[in-house]
Homo-oligomer: A and B are copies of this chain.
Amino acid sequence: MATVAMVLGLSLFLGWASLGAEAEPRPPNIVLLLMDDMGWGDLGVFGEPSKETPHLDQMAAEGMLFPNFYTANPLCSPSRAALLTGRLPIRNGFYTTNAHARNAYTPQEIVGGIPDSEFLLPELLKKAGYVNKIVGKWHLGHRPQFHPLKHGFDEWFGAPNCHFGPYDNKARPNIPVYRNWEMVGRFFEDFPINLKTGEANLTQIYLQEAVDFIKQQAHQQPFFLYWAVDATHAPVYASKSFLGTSQRGRYGDAVREIDDCVGKILKLLQDLGIQENTFVFFTSDNGAALISAPIQGGSNGPFLCGKQTTFEGGMREPAIAWWPGHIPAGRVSHQLGNVMDLFTTSLSLAGLKPPSDREIDGIDLLPAIVRGELIDRPIFYYRGNEMMAVRVGQYKAHYWTWSNSWEQFSQGIDFCPGQNISGVTTHSQEEHTKLPLLFHLGRDPGEKYPISFSSLEYQNVLLKIFPIVEEHKKTMIPAEPQLNVCNLAVMNWAPPGCEKLGRCLASPESKPEKCFWPH
């Protein structure tokens, strides 16, 4: 945990006041609603045919929709690390160099986590007086030094890893659920998830945690709520009253429950009369996991492939900003956005400047959100240690392509089910750095029609893109990779608090090894 004020001399400059917000005595509250593996195409307002997200659609009708919003990585952990640091995973260490262009994350055998040297959004917000809570999935490392309360959060209810399981607590322990510093139980034991029926009441618990926190803070200090629910990540789950209610099956049940919760959270803000002083942003950590579809995976709408890939389906995210009185209702912004922008934008809302001693990839979206401006900026699509693609305006250039290996594909692991674009959805890592594959995403959102190398359009666009990539690569200093080493001994055998519950488990002998990242 860096001592921010000492290092940076952060000052309140209340930039938000000049952006249409009234000069209020305190900066606005910030609520980030971060979904897990929810796809762009899962919302009615983004064209899901069953149209089962009335509250999110209403949120869009009252707020601003971002159809061109991206994650920084097509996998959970790096995406979340990027969101909370405003930096690409290759800068904040949330990547691997064990092999080329591999997605890595934080299973419970991971040794690494978010480095102390990184400034996390809640750490910085504290300097502006914010009280910060994370509800749900952390995923930035589960060992003690990575605990969210050591990185700026004041409260936590949730789990450090994915809710996979059930494990036998011998070969692998079940994932612990924490309240603040200590575990209060484990998934599949104290917090049941019925893998057969899909029933779990976790989303309702996460809702209650959000409600309690908002009520507690409503008329106190400004607050930052990071609501990172995970019902749409396989194994998907829903409460009893939502199970079987969707036309889309179990995945849809999970979406419906979350949609209902979002409606309740927004209504609570209105009932408390703090809606005009609370900035709410809804998005997801990566594209829908088509590998789990159709029962346990969502939809990326018209976009190519899904989670794990740097095609649009892997990284284009549903996104809605809501801030009554500040955002004109029902607007659509074609601003190219990124989860990393939520870092910089949140700081801006708090009247803070981002750290100046390091590269920050996120930009302040407030001019786009409040004044409808369009800010020219590229989007970089990374997979592990490789910049796979870049988007500049409507054009996307692929410097590297692959979906997954022939070996994995032949085992039935398919990130692009039913989709095959010759030379694009390749099963070997194909380098195109000299002659990138170019698509116009306006005409061709599905990345189906590469623009001819010999066309004038290709040549003109590449002349514009090349220097942007060159500049990006020149200033890129990769951090030490944090996701290289795994060790069964570091799993959640004995989380803090286990001794009070008599639930500590014996860990095996420490045996660090290189993590295997097949994708």
**Which A residues form the contact surface with B (CB < 8 A)?**
41, 44-51, 65, 67-68, 246-249, 251-252, 293-295, 299, 301-302, 304, 332, 334, 394, 417-421, 440-446, 448-449
Contact = CB atoms under 8 A, between A and B. Distances in A.
A252 B421 contact: no
A418 B446 contact: yes
> Among A48, A293, A418, which residue has the most Cβ atoms of chain B within 10 A?
A418
B442 A50 contact: yes
Contacts of A51: 65, 67, 332, 334
A255 to B, nearest CB: 12
A61 B301 CA distance: 21
Nearest to A446: B418
Nearest to A47: B47
9 contacts: A41-B301, A45-B47, A47-B48, A49-B445, A247-B334, A252-B442, A304-B418, A418-B448, A419-B419
Nearest to A41: B302
A295 B293 CA distance: 31
A11 to B, nearest CB: 39
A337 to B, nearest CB: 13
A67 B304 CA distance: 22
Given A394-B247, A418-B446, A301 B252 contact: no
Contacts of A50: 67, 334, 442
A294 B247 contact: no
For the complex of A and B, list the 7 residue pairs with the smallest distance between their C-beta atoms, beginning with the closest: A47-B47, A247-B442, A249-B443, A418-B448, A294-B444, A294-B443, A51-B332
B417 A418 contact: no
Nearest to A44: B332
Contacts of A67: 49-51
Contacts of A248: 442-443
A417 B301 contact: no
A420 B417 contact: no
A443 B198 CA distance: 15
A249 B47 CA distance: 21
A442 B294 CA distance: 9
A49 B301 CA distance: 9
A51 B330 CA distance: 12
A442 B246 contact: yes
With most chain B CB atoms within 10 A of its CB, the pick from A246, A443, A445 is A443
